[in-house]
Amino acid sequence: MSAPLRIGNASGFYGDRRAAVREMLEGGPLDVLTGDYLAELTMLILGRDRAKDPARGYARTFLAQLEECLGLAHDRGVRFVVNAGGTNPAGLAEAVRTLADRLGLPTVVAHVEGDDLLPRAAELGFGEPITANAYLGGFGIAACLRAGADVVVTGRVTDASLVVGPGIAHFGWGRDDLDAVAGAMAVGHVLECGTQATGGNLSCFAEHPVEQLLHPGFPLAELHADGSAVITKHPGTGGVVDVDTVTAQLLYEITGARYAGPDAVARFDTVRLTLDGPDRVRLSGVRGEPPPPDAKVCLNALGGHRNEVTFVLTGDRVGAKAALARAQFEAALDPRPAELVWSTVGVQRPDADTEAGASVLLRAQATDPRAEVVGRAFSGAAVEMALASYPGFHLTAPPGGGSAYGVYTPAYVPQTTVPHVAVLPDGTRVDVPAPAVTSPLADLPVPPPAPAAPGPTRRAPLGAVARARSGDKGGTANIGLWATTDEGAAWLAAAITPDTVRALLPEAADLPVTVHPLPNLRAVDVVVEGLLGQGVAASTRFDPQGKAVGEWLLGRTLEIPLRLLPPDDGALP
């Protein structure tokens, strides 16, 4: 097998560690350095930036990173592939050229465009969104790299395309190389969130020394021609790469066993993970299927305006204090907001040894189409209660004006209607044709759960035998659960049913729940539709992106076989 292509990651979101680009360039050899700067909410932010200034709309932090490190990348022969172009990839590409000229560095720049469907929103039946961007694949990136680009800037491609594109360019994959492309998609999914693959946000973090997790290194993959790879990190960097860290990221926000992209569908139920040495995990066996005929489109529209106030309730009689605060506050609201949601954080502990420990937070969150209804008059109504309400009254913040919020909605259009254009370094525009062979996307059939093996049980937290990683897809929460042994995985697959999930998570009691088994990963993937409302920008939920739903689930108790429980399982007496 030929030498692998070494692809690293230096950004998992807009706002990630600024020093990561330098760390990855200095840490060891690389061929390509990727950066993922986009999410549904980020597209909304960048879309509003561009609406204010047509020259904006891209992730400006990438330019700052390049200014510090472009010379280092040039000396080491590392190429960049980033989606930092956001809603204006052409603008960022031009800004990179200007920067390189100012630094005196010979840098060849290309970009990918065509994802922006906003000018065609009415034609495509999208209404009046703020942004409308199709998720593009990796073949446009590959065309730019083959034309000699040192820096490839994209807008809204799939996160995995940042790895798929370099794989196509380096190994010569075509549309028929579905297994190889699907393998690269799985690798790209592991790398896309940066240090989440090297120990960040890991549910079993306590199994590793704190010193090891203080400053996790960013991940890289040694990608092979067949689409398999070794996930690792630069020697001597912090964090850890093991089967748990890679499993956690594989399960993150996938919503089922078929992981769809515009170039292929990766069968995550075929992924195999094996240790390949310290901080090295081999990812192999991924089967690919033809991509769906439709491209996914990220729509962001103005949803209305929002505001919130948080009351602090201290000591005893918390329930009565909350009731008084709610009654007074709601009586003062005229007009009443279209949506007013109350929630509490914490439990009553009047004998706590600190005032903070003896306090409970009462949050009032409001949304309304009318900005004035949830503006300063809303928060001011809470301030006016200061001398006329429950004993110990105070708020966590002074009054503030409301803010606009967006609503993310996925849409789908035929891939053939989406222009996918590689703008090469010399300005040549190369149209990337849609895949000729497609297949409608469908979930794999979910087999009925196997009956649980007989034997004595004990009530204990799910976290005694399982690990978790959770996140969001719009208003849907995704929770990956996995075990570390075959026996634990068999129990998990039998025990975690939709009804079990609804019982453990009362907030999901009336919601659609699907559980997808992933036996190769000793895992199940749980999808709860509607748990997050209309998505992060519009959600009034305490955890609007569902990042901690998995941890909540691990803390819930159920009957677990004694044979699976460790001695210090935290089981209930």
Residue 436, in any domain of the structure: no
Question: Could you report the per-residue pLDDT of 91-110, keeping only the tens digit for each?
Answer: 999 999 999 999 999 999 99
Range of the domain at 314: 309-401
Task: For residue 385, give the CATH number of its domain.
Answer: 3.30.70
Distance CA 379, CA 458 (A): 48
Residues 162 and 46 both lie in one domain: yes
How confident is the prediction for the chain on average, in pLDDT? Answer: 95
Q: How many residues does the chain have?
A: 573
Question: Which pLDDT value is given to residue 573?
Answer: 41
Model confidence band, residue 493 (pLDDT cutoffs 50, 70, 90): very high
Model confidence band, residue 400 (pLDDT cutoffs 50, 70, 90): confident
pTM for the full predicted model:
0.94
101 Cα distance to chain centroid: 35
Distance CA 377, CA 412 (A): 40
Lowest mean pLDDT segment, chosen from 22-31, 251-260, 401-410, 427-436: 401-410
Model confidence band, residue 537 (pLDDT cutoffs 50, 70, 90): low
Residues 6+ apart with CB under 8 A from 2: 224, 225
Residue 573, in any domain of the structure: no
Does residue 399 have a pLDDT over 60? Answer: yes
Q: Confirm if 462 and 558 have CB atoms less than 8 A apart.
A: yes
For 142-234, strand residue ranges (E) read: 151-153, 219-223, 229-233
Residues 121 and 208 both lie in one domain: yes
Does residue 440 have a pLDDT over 70? Answer: yes
Q: Which residue has the higher pLDDT, 573 or 399?
A: 399
Residues 129 and 178 both lie in one domain: yes
Residue 482, in any domain of the structure: yes
- Overall number of domains in the chain: 3
Residue 72, in any domain of the structure: yes
- Return the percentage of the chain with pLDDT > 70, whole number: 98
Which residue, 33, 499, 99, 473, is CA-closest to 252? 473
Mean pLDDT, range 537-563, rounded to an integer: 89
Residues 200 and 333 both lie in one domain: no
Question: Which pLDDT value is given to residue 172?
Answer: 97
Question: Could you report the per-residue pLDDT of 371-392, keeping only the tens digit for each?
Answer: 999 999 999 999 999 999 999 9
Does residue 450 have a pLDDT over 80? Answer: no
Asked, as a colleague might, if the bond just before 456 is cis with ω within 30 of 0, I would say: no
**CA end-to-end span of the chain:** 56
Question: Which pLDDT value is given to residue 38?
Answer: 95
Residue 440, in any domain of the structure: no
Question: Could you report the per-residue pLDDT of 514-528, keeping only the tens digit for each?
Answer: 999 999 999 999 999
Does residue 566 have a pLDDT over 90? Answer: no
Does residue 404 have a pLDDT over 50? Answer: yes
Residues 494 and 363 both lie in one domain: no
Q: Which residue pairs from 389-393 have beta carbons closer than 8 angstroms and sit at least 24 positions apart in sequence?
A: 389/324, 389/325, 389/328, 390/313, 390/320, 390/321, 390/324, 390/325, 391/321, 392/312, 392/313, 392/314, 392/315, 392/321, 393/311, 393/312, 393/325
Residues 420 and 488 both lie in one domain: no
Write phi, then psi, for 238 (nearest 5 degrees). -75, 180
Residue 97, in any domain of the structure: yes
Residues 242 and 145 both lie in one domain: yes
Question: Which pLDDT value is given to residue 572?
Answer: 47
Burial class (CB in 10 A: 0-12, 13-18, 19+), 235: exposed
Residues 11 and 69 both lie in one domain: yes
Residue 300, in any domain of the structure: no
Residues 330 and 252 both lie in one domain: no
Residues 25 and 161 both lie in one domain: yes
Residues 57 and 202 both lie in one domain: yes
Does residue 358 have a pLDDT over 90? Answer: yes
Residues 492 and 424 both lie in one domain: no
Residue 301, in any domain of the structure: no
Question: Could you report the per-residue pLDDT of 130-187, keeping only the tens digit for each?
Answer: 999 999 999 999 999 999 999 999 999 999 999 999 999 999 999 999 999 999 999 9
Q: What three-state secondary structure class fits 65? A: helix
Question: Which pLDDT value is given to residue 536?
Answer: 63
- Return the percentage of the chain with pLDDT > 90, whole number: 90
Question: Which pLDDT value is given to residue 538?
Answer: 67
